[in-house]
Amino acid sequence: MAEDKPTRKYPQNLQGVLLLAVDAGSTTEGPDPVQPMSEERKIWLRGALSEVCKGQMDEVEQIKQCLDILRQEGVSEMEREVEDERDEDVREKAFEVMSELCENLDNARDLMTLGGLDLCISQYLCHAQSGLRWRAAELIASCAQNMPEVQVHLYGLGVLAKLLQLTDSDPHPTVRVKALYAVSCLIREQETGLQEFLSHDGISVLMRGMQSDIEKLRAKSAFLLLNLLTSHPEQKDTVVSMGMVQQLVSVLRTPHSPFHEHVLGALCCLVEDCPQGLKDCRDPALGLKELIRQQSRELQGKEESEEELDFWERLRVVCFQQSDDNGMDR
């Protein structure tokens, strides 16, 4: 084991954090486990990171120093295996600072110019630590929202395919939710993003998201599908051809959840001005008419379910009003 070295004094700012990270890496030799961080170092680290949040430096300078920290990431698998937990905490904080700063559109543009988005995609969306993966996705979302210039840059880096993969299959629930949030920021009200989303079978990713066991992912998937169908009605035929009506009804048969309201909204979109969607809903094998009656009875009188009840009624009227008025299928 390496001999103990005298405690070094570090400046209490982000540069000091960087120096500490470098020194920590240089003291780790071979396969020896990394030593836990001392209480003194913890106190120093909290103080150093707090300087970032006090606005004592120019915001662009803060972004630059955060990127300096993120670029210290080791590139070899061995280095990742012995990664100091302290370094991970520092990088997570750097992401949090940048996400907050990049709510300002000028800062988001500066981060792009400084290569920060390229770094997020190439190094952190695939990072072994889930806390860094989801923070990278969150930063991408913060920068992409309402920023066409940044969106175009991100499309060029192929980020949508990576975010959809994370949404679909990442083992950590928060990563999946944040990745879908970033997808939403990239494609809503953006035709180029929508076309790329469709080319990567993004609709199927949303369908699987609604069928997952992660409540937030189910809700966000359903809401994004509803938004896309509302904003782009020309996509209804494509979505219906994928068997979406049957899939949505299947979701509505699962134990009741608040996100069912968004699923119902999407189903209503698919039956209005869409002959094939209407035909699919009227298929007796689907059993939708009885499901509408059942759910309407169960939700009747529940104030918190008024909007969902309105969707059920809207679906009944569009799909079955004529047969009910004629006394059929009662």
Task: Say what the pLDDT of residue 49 is.
Answer: 63
- Measured distance CA(243)–CA(248) in Å, rounded: 9
pLDDT at 87: 79
Task: Give the Cα separation of 185 and 146 in Å (integer).
Answer: 8
Rg (CA), the chain: 25
Question: Which pLDDT does position 23 carry in this prediction?
Answer: 59
Tokens of 71: 């670029």
This prediction's pTM = 0.78
Residues 166-184: pLDDT tens digits? 999 999 999 999 999 999 9
Report pLDDT digits (tens) over 215-244. Answer: 999 999 999 999 999 999 999 999 999 999
**Residue 159 carries which side chain, given as an amino acid letter?**
V
Which stretches of the chain drop beneath a pLDDT of 70? 1-38, 41-42, 44-57, 73-86, 322-330
The full set of domain ranges for the chain reads 239-330
HSE value, Cβ hemisphere, 13 Å, CA-based, for 106: 3
pLDDT of res. 188: 86
Cβ pair 267, 245 in contact under 8 A: yes
Q: What is the pLDDT of residue 77?
A: 44
